[in-house]
Each structure stands twice: as structure tokens, then as C-alpha cells.
Amino acid sequence: MQERHRLGEEEITRELLRPLVTTTPMMWVGFIGLGAVLAIFVFAVSWMFYWGLGVTGLQRPNMWGFMIVNFVFWIGISHAGVMISAILRLTQAEWRRPVTRAAEVMTIFSLMTAMLHPVIHTGRPWRTLYWVFPYDFWRNLWPDVRGPLVWDPSAILTYLTGSTLFLYTTMIPDMALARDRTIGWRKVLYTILALGWRGNERQWKMQTIAGFLLSGLILPVFVSVHSIVSWDFAVSLVPTWHATVFAPYFVIGAIHSGVSAVVTLMALMRWLFRFDHYIRLEHFDAIGRLLIAVGTGWLWFFLLDIFFAIYPQEARELEIMDFRLFQWPFNVLTALIFIFGYFIPVPIWIFQRFRRNVKIMFWTSILVNVGMWAERYWLIKPGLMRKYEWTFDWNWYRPSIVEISIVLGSFALVGFLLLVFSKIFPPISVWEEKEGQHFAQQLQVGKRVVNAIVREF
Amino acid sequence: MPRWGMVIDLDRCIGCGACVVACQAENNVPINTEDVYHQRRAIAWIRLERYWEGQFPTVKARYIPVPCMQCTYAPCEPVCPVYATYHTTEGINMQVYNRCIGTRYCAVNCHWHVRFFNFWEPKWPDSLKNQLNPDVTVRSRGVMEKCNFCVHRIVKAEQKAKVEGRTLRTDEVTTACAQACPTNAITFGDLDDPNSMVSKLLSQAEKDHRVYRLLEDLGTDPKVYYLKKIDLEASATPKGAH
């Protein structure tokens, strides 16, 4: 903690609340740029609603395409929030403090974006809400709970509720802070959201307990969400899909891409809001070290999945494996996943010099997510293209411009929502930052240096 | 309770495609235009797959009509979130168009590729509008559809039998494809009735070792049986001669 720059309480408050009141030119560029892509996204989705799914590139063997791949990808990104804030909070990792809020918000927005995909991907989206909520009680028509597509919304909505509550609990003290320093509509908004927070001891105690409880309660959901998403594939009969290793494999993949996305976000926040005093190089260093472990775990499961497909010596499984490992264009895709997902970033992260370089961390984290998107495509598509020995039904999948716009637009959607959020709510948790400062205080007692504050939790 | 099944004798099949046309007319299947074929989105509840057998001078065209296999343990059923596809007590794998929301998971999990999705709003030329079968629902855009063994014919026959106060007679109903087949390659009937045509065909063919089912090893217990082609030439040629 030597690099810590001593900051006064008021200085922290002023600097961290700054994005709320001032809009830098870069933020305007972000708003307009992302807004334009978002407009394309809205247009593409409306176009698809109006004309039907015929405007996509889906056809008979390839009934699921880009949108499902993107769905899995965004569910993966959403695992960052809990990884960073809940797990690191429970393990009391100090370096989590400046990124908890951003990671949690990204969790919520990427979950919402992910949820959008299976809904717009159905043939009749206006009826799809039927399977999210049990319907028609009086006619005894219930959703089929045997199907993974019913587990999906339940798992995702549980996760969304849990992480929204968690985020809100950690935001209450900051809302009170903002309430006391704003006027107009913002004052009304923050007054409502602060729930009468006065900052007395009892309130702090309850807020801390609630935070710990919620982070503990989210943990099982964290494992279950991506397991259930993986079962969308694993319970089917498609070769290379029905693997029992899918659940843990998807979870570790989700953490790999999610934590990398947090690095991207940290770099962007540093550049956009000039939070150099808060998101420091030591934070990049720590998250880089975490990523080495997570990335290696992911590689292990990636190889395990290939091994499990080869081990039973089942002809159909081997055929698809051969197709996606050695045949054009999937051989290139496999190489891309290996290189982008592991063999470029991880050796770079081993060196502390590179871990403390924001630009390098930013670009390697982008690489990981390109690799991880490709990995989801690699997992889902080849099995569908060459399902069983019906050679006359084998076909390639070519995404249409509508699907490509939806995929690109989903990135703009998450980015835009994050930007809007940081205009209304402080993107770094102010009270956690101050708490960190207090915890870092040390006293000289005789020859020993001890922490000034003893933690209760 | 009958257990409906089908026997397709490939030795009799000449690949004329009458079953496909009959099914199209009977079940209000939209007209597949050329571009729909090129998009690989053609809907054909029973389709004729052609493949080649043998090396160049002795190449043979083989045809195989593929309707829905009506699996006893159908993989498409448990994955539907809204019970749009379910099993009837008579063993037919049914599709309820009104419940279907079009997740297409059933099609993903069907390895015979006999589930079809309405990617576009179905269209018919004006001259064909009066030809539509009033007993069969016209499906809208965004729902799955598939062969259901001409369930409307079965229901009609059962109702008629009920009115007349009797049970269904052996081989009283047949499907459109079986009715249209000029060589009687397709036979439809009750697998549990020992007097039915399908049972007789099956017991005879079993003695000749001609019966097989498509992707039988997946364990879904399909109810469409195929009888092997009897190729005298092929059996006359010693193995490995090609």
C-alpha cells in the first residue's frame, strides 16, 4: 500500500462525484457513438420483429445462431460482478474497492442484455413472456419445468434480483452523500434512494451485515446461473453438446471473460473519468494475477472438454471433434481461441511490468473476450451444422446483417447503459474508498507497525 | 388404445414424390418457392431424401421418404418450455401451434430434422386458397410444425366410430402419404393390432431381417419402420468387388 496517495475525505467525495456534474468531451463522444450503434440495434430488432426470423441467417439444421452465442457470452460477462464484489469482499481483498461498483453494474446490464437475446430470438416474442411467468392458472396450462428453457429465466431472474439488491445495498451511503450535495431533480432522486440514511452506527452495522449476507447468498446463484445456461446445451442430444463437463466449464469460462471485461472497464474508467488516484496500477497488478489463475483454469477445462469428447471413442463425437479442430474454417477458429484466450494474454500477464501497464492490460483483456466469444461459437455451432449422419441436411451457417447488427448493438447497449449510469450514480463506491483509506492507516507502536483499525467483520 | 405406426417399404419406393405432394395438400403446408429452397427453409412434413450408392459405373440412386419418426421417447418433447409439443395417449408426437412460441429447441434436439419452422408468413397463390383443408390449422409465422400422422383423419374416424357405437375397425384410417403412394410403399396402422397391415408386414419382414429404423441406437424408439431394399444385383456381387 505504499503507492497510496493520501487524500482528504472531501477531496475523495469531490473527485468521485465529478462525473455526475461535469461531462467531458470524451463522454459526449461515447454517448453519441454508442447511441448511434444502439439505434442500429433497435432498428435491426424491430426489422426482425416486423418481417419475422426469415431475415436472419438461420435455416434447417442451424436453428440457433449468433443470438444464442451472444446470449451465452453476455451471461459470461455478468459473472464478473459477483466474482469481484462478493468473493473478494468475503475474502477481504483490499484491491477490490475501486472496481466493485463498476463490476456490479456491468453484471446487471450485461444480464439484462443477455436476457433480451433468447426473447427476441423466438418466433413469437410477444408470447414468450408466457414462459418466464407461469400463465393461465385457470386452464392448468403450466410451463414445462422439465425443459431447460424454463430453468433459464428462473436462474437469470434470481441472479438479477440478487445482484440488484446487492448493488443497491452498497449504494445507499453514496446516495445520502449525493443527496446532501445536489439540488433539483437529482436531490429528489437521491433522497428517495438514500432511504433516510443518516450514517449512524446502527445503520452502518446493518448495511455491512446486509452486504455480507447478500454476497454469501449470491455465491450459489453465481455457480448455478452459468451451469443452467450450459444445460441448455448439455441436456440435448446434439453430439459434443451433451457433455457433463459443460457446467463447470461454462462457469470458469464466464469468470475468465468477466474478469477480463472488468479490466477493460477499469482502463476505460481511468481514461474517461481520470480516476488515476483511485484505480491505480497496483489494482491492475492484482487483477492480472487473478486472471493468470482463472485463465489457466479455463484452459484446463477447455482441454478437458476435448479430451472427454475423444475418450469414449464414439464415432459421432469424434467426427464433430475432427470437424471443429482440423477442418477449415474451424481449425483457424480453434487456433484463434487458443492464442487469443490464453497464449497471448497469460504470458504477458506473468510480467509485473506489463501488468502495471494500463494500455497492455486493456488490449490483452479485449483479446481474451474476442477469444471467448469465438469459443462460444466454437462450442455451439459445429455440432448443429453436422448433426448426426444426415449428410443431405448438413449445412453451413451464415449470419445475416441483422444478426451481426444485433451482436454489435448488444455491446453498444451495455456500454451506453454503463455511461448513463455513471452520469447519474457515482461509478466508484465513495464510502468503500474512504473505508479503505481508514483501514490503510497504520500506527507505530514501539518497534511494530500495526493497523489503526481492527475489523469487526 | 391404438399405437399408431408406419412401415415404409424401400423396395417398393420409386421416389416419385407423390407422398410429399399429398402431404402438402392435405396439411396446408405452404408452397415452397425456389428461394425458400435455396434458403434451406423449405417445409415438407414428409420429404424425399435421395442419395447415391456405389462407385461410378454402377451408381444407384436411392430414395428414402422421411416423415416424423413419432419417437416413443421423443427428444423434442421435454425441451419445449410451453408444452407445445407433447405425446398423445395414442403415441403421436403432437404439435400445438397456438402454444408454440418458436424457441426452436425442439428442432435443435430432433436428429431426423423433421421439425420445420415458419420463418416467413405462409403464402398461397389465390388460385390455391380454396384448396386449403378446413380440418387442418393454417400455421402462422414463428411457430414450428411437423408431421402428426394426419391426426385430423384419425380424430374424424374415431368420432364417426363413436357415433355409430363401435370401436375403430382395423386399417380404417390411413394418412395422406400412404393413400397417395402409387406402389403402396407406405403403410399406416395400429402397431398393437395383430390383424393390421403394419403388424403383418412387420412380422413378415422381421423373419426376412429387413426391418430397421433411422438412428435407432439413440434409444428414442421411433415408430416409423423401414424395410430394406432387396437388391439382387448387390447381393449377387461378392463383397468388396467394387
Q: Which of A64, A144, A390 lies nearest to residue B104, judging by beta carbons?
A: A64
- A425 within domain boundaries: yes
- Give residues with Cβ within 8 angstroms of B210, minimum separation 6: B227, B228, B230
A3 occurs within a structural domain: no
- In whole angstroms, what is the distance from residue A4 CA to residue A279 CA? 11
Which domain CATH number covers A157?
1.20.1630.10
Q: Is the pLDDT of residue B219 over 70?
A: yes
Q: Per the structure block, which three cell numbers stand in for B68?
A: 416424423
Who among B81, B104, B113 is closest to A143 (CB)?
Answer: B81
In a domain, A1, yes or no: no
Neighbours of A147 (CB within 10 A): 22
- pLDDT value of position B241: 44
State chain B's maximal CA–CA distance in angstroms. 62
pTM (two decimals): 0.92
**Residue A154 falls within a domain, yes or no?**
yes
Q: What is the DSSP letter of B145?
A: E
For residue A59, the chain B residues in CB contact (below 8 A) are 39-41, 119
pLDDT surpasses 90 at B117: yes
Residue contact B117–A387, C-beta within 8 A: no
Chain A residues in contact with B215 by the CB 8 A cut-off are 388
Q: Is A387 in contact with B113 (Cβ distance < 8 A)?
A: yes
Q: What is the pLDDT of residue A2?
A: 45
Residues of B in contact with A156 (CB under 8 A): none
B/e letters for A212-232, b = 16+ CB within 10 Å, e = fewer, are eebbeebeebbebbbbbbbbb
* B75 contact residues in A (CB cutoff 8 A): 236-237
> Is B102 near chain A, with CB under 8 Å?
yes
Find, in chain B, the residue whose alpha carbon is nearest to that of A234.
B109
Cell numbers that stand for A312 in this block: 469414449
Of A60, A123, A232, nearest to B101 by CB-CB distance is A123
d(CA A181, CA A429): 16
Alpha helices in A339-429 (DSSP H): 345-349, 352-355, 358-385, 401-424
Per-residue confidence in pLDDT tens, chain A, 457 aa = 445 556 778 888 888 888 888 888 888 999 999 999 999 999 999 999 999 899 999 988 899 999 999 999 999 999 887 777 778 878 777 788 888 888 999 999 999 999 999 999 998 888 877 666 666 666 677 788 888 888 888 899 999 999 999 999 999 999 999 998 888 899 999 999 999 999 899 999 999 899 889 888 888 888 889 899 999 999 998 888 888 899 999 999 999 999 999 999 999 999 888 888 888 888 899 899 999 999 999 999 999 998 988 888 888 888 888 898 999 889 999 999 999 999 999 999 999 999 999 999 999 999 999 999 999 999 999 989 988 877 788 889 999 999 999 999 999 999 999 999 999 999 888 888 888 877 777 777 888 887 777 666 5
Q: Do A131 and B141 touch (CB under 8 A)?
A: no
Q: Does residue A43 sit within a domain? A: yes
Among partner residues B80, B111, B119, which is closest to A237 by beta-carbon distance?
Answer: B111
pLDDT of residue A392: 81
In a domain, residue A81? The reply is yes
CB pair distance less than 8 Å for B141 and A52? yes
Amino acid identity at A114: A
Domain membership flag for residue A288: yes
> Which residues of chain B lie closer than 8 angstroms to A148, CB-CB?
79
Query: Looking at the predicted structure, is the pLDDT value of residue B68 above 90?
Result: yes
Q: For the segment B175-195, what is each residue's pLDDT rounded down to a tens digit?
A: 999 999 999 999 999 999 999
B214-221 long-range CB contacts below 8 Å, 24 or more apart? B214/B66, B214/B69, B214/B112, B215/A388, B215/B111, B215/B112, B218/A237, B218/B75, B218/B111, B219/B73, B220/B69, B220/B71, B220/B72, B220/B73, B220/B74, B220/B75, B221/B71, B221/B72, B221/B73
**Cβ(A106)–Cβ(A265) under 8 Å?**
yes
Q: Which domain holds residue A354?
A: 9-453
Does residue A58 contact residue A65 with C-beta atoms inside 8 Å? yes
B80, B118, B120 member nearest A144 (Cβ): B80
CA distance, residue B81 to nearest chain A CA (Å): 5
Locate the chain B residue with the closest alpha carbon to A68.
Answer: B103
Which residues in chain B have their CB less than 8 angstroms from residue A124's CB? 100-102, 142-143
Q: Which residue of B118, B119, B218 is in closest CB contact with A237?
A: B218
Give the nearest chain A residue to B98 (CA atoms).
A127
pLDDT the model gives residue A134: 60
Number of separate domains in chain A? 1
Instruction: Name the β-bridge partners of B225.
Output: B7
ipTM, 2 decimals?
Answer: 0.89
* Within-domain flag for A2: no
Residue B82 touches chain A, beta carbons under 8 Å? yes
Give the pLDDT band of residue B155 (cuts 50, 70, 90): very high
**Of chain B residues 17-36, which have a CB less than 8 A from chain A?**
none
A395 and chain B in contact, CB less than 8 A: yes
Give the cell for residue A17: 462525484
User: Which pLDDT does position A5 carry in this prediction?
Assistant: 59
